[in-house]
Amino acid sequence: MPVHNEDVAAIFDEMADLLEIEGDNPYRVRAYRNAARTVRHLGRELADMVERGEDLTRLPGIGKELAAKIREIVATGHARALDKLHRSVPASLEALLKIPGLGPKRVRALYHDLHIKSLRQLEDAVRRGRLRQLPGFGPKTERRILENLAAHRTAEKRFLHSVARRYAEPLVAWLQDTPGVDRVVVAGSYRRGKETVGDLDVLVTVRGDSPVMQRFTEYDEVADVVSRGRTRSTVYLRCGLQVDLRVVEQASFGAALHYFTGSRAHNIAIRHLGQQRGLKINEYGVFRGKRRIAGESEESVYASVDLPWIPPELREARGEIEAAREGRLPRLIARTDLRGDLHCHTRATDGTAGIEAMARAAREAGLDYLAITDHSRHLTVARGLDEKALRRQMEEIDRLNETLDGITLLKGIEVDILEDGSLDLPADVLCELDLVVAAVHSAFRLSRRRQTERILRAMEAPCFSILAHPSGRLLGEREAYALDMERILDAARDRGCFLELNSQPQRLDLTDDHCLLAREKGVLVAIDSDAHQPGDFALLDGGIRQARRGWLEKGHVLNTLPLKTLRRKLRATMR
């Protein structure tokens, strides 16, 4: 069976978790986490690199030991080091790690102090009040764990869009190479750019008697064939992702693509418009009586109800039909509109490459400027910078700007917003920077009022440019902290600062709804990669997709501005 980058990354993540439960060296744990990030965001398949005999140690954060493990995983599908860890750490503990709020350190305490090894034992211990014996496990924590356990039991398995894409794109290429196949398109929530995907809906058009269904069910990633028919088949891939394949007639392709792209609410609204005109709109076409009058293209479906084509990212019944009718559809931002990136990290803290390497990678990604924003001192796990280290970095950036061509570096910091709303570094050093990116990295469980007041106080600091990943969520791991986003956006507008749309796949934060709210309130959004290695600038594609779902146009995004204009806006935040 083929081994994908996601498979390697999952093994490294699991090893990091288990090593942390064991209390292993934190630098070793971080090495595995950095390696997982490297391979997960790599633009090429490791299996191909291994087959070509390429030197894996040239990848950021991959030394000889990790390179050997990658080659082993590619060859065998597993790692002996992980097998060894499973002999010392019960495999059932991994299920505990999937419960939000239970990171490796807490799972370690549960295992070593209370001998809890399973979800059932955890629930029993919570109901008996046994967790209160441990530091940091009070009544509120117990209630939260019970809620998360209940949610975990009923949760639908979903995949990050970035993960689903790694399976969707090779599958599309495989199907496209089938004799007789004309077009292959992935529809559904995937096409609408949703943050997570439950399954893949794939549509194909064919010429003649194409063997596409046989080729689909024999795809080497398929673990289980649920059904196989002449025009529809359903399979599960080895990763657990369900894929439905439908063969549609060319004359119906646009109608089918519209129908299976959704959303359901959007489709119902379009069908209702059709009914008002005496039309029937379904997956087979647009019909007046028994005669099909449209459906070969999506444009023809929309034209039948007197609308222009609506981009898939907008099809959520949030006013897009009214906007289309009135000629107000946004000209959605594109990746080529971005001029720079205002949030990235280097090996000075938790990144894997130096400043110059990150600058060159940003230039290769088509960017004109890049802000270096390593962590501040409060984030000890990332070896955050103090005043002295930050000033040394500022001097290094000045020197590099004298020699770099085609890219300009900006001096910044990702400074922690402390629980009382103060910033982690004093104003005198912060105001020497080009920008300050401020973020919450602790005390996530404050009440809505306290968390909102905390950020509002931070915004009033003398130097505050951008609020990073504003809700603090990690998809599938951590819920957003309680926050009055409307008040935050009002304050940002009045203060003249900005909010970030963080492009890391687990963040995609701002949410699409909050992007739309920022647009309405006139607050510019910075679409940033939060890059930790040179390859991470490719993540900006995901940020653009999220921004499009939030109706953002070029003029709503801070880092579409040319450098001279950007500097002027940033200086206004450093008062």
Please state the domain extents for the chain. 5-154, 159-247, 252-325, 335-573
Q: Looking at this protein, which amino acid is placed at residue 384? A: G
| 116 contacts: CB under 8 Å, gap ≥ 6 | 96, 110, 122, 125
Rounded CA gap, 455 and 482, in Å? Answer: 12
In angstroms and rounded to an integer, the radius of gyration of the C-alpha atoms of the chain is 25
Residue with token string 């008062």 = 575
Domain boundaries 335-573, corresponding CATH code: 3.20.20.140
Kind and range of the H or E element at 546?
helix 540-549
Tens-place pLDDT, residues 94-140 = 788 878 778 888 888 898 888 898 888 998 888 888 888 888 788 88
User: In the β-sheet with 280-282, what is the strand arrangement from edge to edge?
Assistant: 280-282, 285-288, 291-294
End-to-end CA distance of the chain: 58
Nearest-10 Cα torsion for 311, 314, 315, 316: 170
Residue with token string 């803290």 = 349
Considering only CA atoms, which of 461, 462, 413, 463 is closest in space to residue 439?
413
| 528 contacts: CB under 8 Å, gap ≥ 6 | 341, 342, 343, 344, 468, 500, 501, 502, 503, 540, 543, 559
Kind and range of the H or E element at 161?
helix 161-176
Residues 159-247, CATH architecture: 2-Layer Sandwich (3.30)
| 53 contacts: CB under 8 Å, gap ≥ 6 | none
Q: C-alpha angle 26/443/40, rounded to 5°?
A: 45
Rounded CA gap, 258 and 12, in Å? Answer: 40
| Fold classified for 5-154 | DNA polymerase; domain 1 (1.10.150)
Rounded CA gap, 165 and 170, in Å? Answer: 9
Tens-place pLDDT, residues 351-360 = 989 999 999 9
| 51 contacts: CB under 8 Å, gap ≥ 6 | none
Nearest-10 Cα torsion for 269, 271, 276, 278: 170
Q: For position 204, what pLDDT does the model report?
A: 98
Kind and range of the H or E element at 206?
strand 199-206
- Residue 314 gets the label, from left (phi > 0), alpha (psi -120 to 50) or beta, of alpha
Low-confidence ranges of the chain (pLDDT < 70): 1, 154-156, 381-382
Domain 252-325 has CATH 3.30.540.10: no
Rounded CA gap, 453 and 211, in Å? Answer: 61
Q: Looking at this protein, which amino acid is placed at residue 200? A: L
**Cβ contact 226:199 at 8 Å:** no
